[in-house]
Chain A
């Protein structure tokens, strides 16, 4: 399976068992990302995009009360068929994630350098302290941090949000993963910093050959970054197409509503979307030229 997609989700469903019975959160998500591709998953908060990311990483599988069905394949391997240990082994090596708020995602009681070493040890357990530091410094240099020594000796709270974001990108790509998941990267940051981050990320994933699942509510950002776009609404994919096509001719009522809201988006969410519209529940729209791969 040399040309298996880097990530393949087929009819992914997620339900939580709670006091009030079973609540289904994802109603059958199918999407795929090929090697080196940048794919965006767009929707408002609560639409199910973040839980999708967590399922891909295998973080929700072990949670009590979460019921997951459907297929998740990473580089052709079915996560459900793997042992827990094998699933964990993928993390930090074949896939990694960039979080929304870089400053709170870095551990407050350890120096950046220490955390970097831990990450590098995931791929190379035998790496020496010294070699890890040299490698970390080189990676930081790649993300335009030119005084790596100072940053490696600092704690996250001593650095700016933009600096931490770059540290996190460098960490996430340190072990050359096949798949990078970016969950609303930089939303917590200033707009200009966010733009720089995006440019940096684009260059970095190209250099390291990673495919990207880019999760965002911000269509403006998505348009800059992604090759293809999936629009998710209430746990369903409602539209899928190449970025240009989708932006030129949005077909689904929800996508059109999202786009109408774009100018007002400042990073804090989507404020002026109609609460409920019957048209939002319409079936999925598929643009020409894109389709889910055949079942394997």
Chain B
């Protein structure tokens, strides 16, 4: 079996184990709710029979192990149960709200990589100079405030005082296009409406940047540290001894090996973004999974909570798997080793 395929299979296996662990954990958390979830869902006016019926429908009277078994059986059929909050299948709710959140996160992730890595490389190349100090302060500031603070500050500066960007939402109402993928940037392009695309992009800019800021800071700091470490490696001196240009050394000799540890952390930052999206969506009234997530949590909607957390964790595991495979591709040592590390 080729090493890369083996690595992929191995990663798939571990991810699956972890995902089952996550489902157990979140299932357990959701089932220790004090009070009767059925009663909370139906409200104080419901009759005892109604509550009993709902309890039966949710299998709440079974032992928790049996409940978990039923949950797994349904999950295998792609059924996450019915949300007590919307009265719709949780899968349908997630399918409706997830694309908006994904769009936000993907753009923020791109910003993180495209701004953070070059900033870090720049700081390392001019280390201990004013360039380095400036970048250090910027990146530390970036990670030092929760994304809702950045969201509020950015909104105040660039939507109110300097009205460059729209204040809230995903797209102006007049520009609405039919939903195909749920990704506004893609749907507007599918509809052939470039004006709507620009409009959607403008709506996306501030929330995505607010979400990306701490990731940009992390990525820059990490890339700087890794590149400085790489600069001390003998192969850099070897490259210098052959008189290769500084730019060539920075770009192909120092940056690429440094990318390897940076990418790993980017995976973890992505996890943080999945959570922070909740904060940014709240500030910019972004109709994503966050409002749904907060609602189901506040309403103690069992199926909603389990479904939302599970989908977010699965997303995170998938992203990390992609990053691992990417790493293996960049790092010949992994690609050519006989066993996965």
Contacts and interface: CB of A to CB of B under 8 A. Distances in A.
Interface in A227-284: none
A96 interface: yes
Contacts of A144: none
Interface of chain A, helix or strand or loop or mixed? mixed
Contact of B240 (A59, A108, A122): A59
A105 B238 contact: yes
A105 B233 CA distance: 8
Contact of A109 (B237, B240, B241, B256): B256
B332 A155 contact: yes
Interface residues of B, number: 22
A104 B242 contact: no
Interface string B309-339: 0000000000000000000001111001000
B153 interface: no
Interface residues of A, number: 28
Given A64-B128, A109-B331, A157-B333, A101 B234 contact: yes
B239 interface: yes
Contact of B235 (A91, A96, A106): A106
Interface string A74-90: 00000000000000111
Contacts of B244: 92, 118, 122
A160 to B, nearest CB: 15
A59 B242 CA distance: 11
A92 B242 contact: yes
Contacts, number: 66
B333 A104 contact: no
Contacts of A214: none
A26 interface: no
Contact of A90 (B238, B243, B253, B257): B243
Interface in B211-238: 233-235, 237-238
B333 A155 contact: yes
Contacts of B336: 155, 158
Contacts of A111: 332
Contacts of B241: 57, 59, 91-92, 96-97, 99
Contacts of B243: 88-93, 122
B253 A107 contact: yes
Contacts of A109: 256-257, 330-332
Contact of A108 (B235, B245, B252): B235
Interface of A: 57, 59, 64, 88-93, 96-97, 99-101, 104-111, 118-119, 122, 155, 157-158
30 contacts: A59-B240, A59-B241, A64-B128, A88-B245, A91-B240, A92-B242, A96-B241, A96-B242, A97-B241, A99-B234, A99-B237, A100-B234, A104-B233, A105-B234, A105-B237, A106-B238, A107-B253, A107-B257, A108-B235, A108-B257, A110-B252, A111-B332, A118-B242, A119-B242, A122-B242, A122-B243, A155-B332, A155-B333, A155-B336, A158-B336
Smallest CB-CB A-B distances: 5 pairs: A91-B243, A92-B242, A105-B234, A92-B243, A97-B241
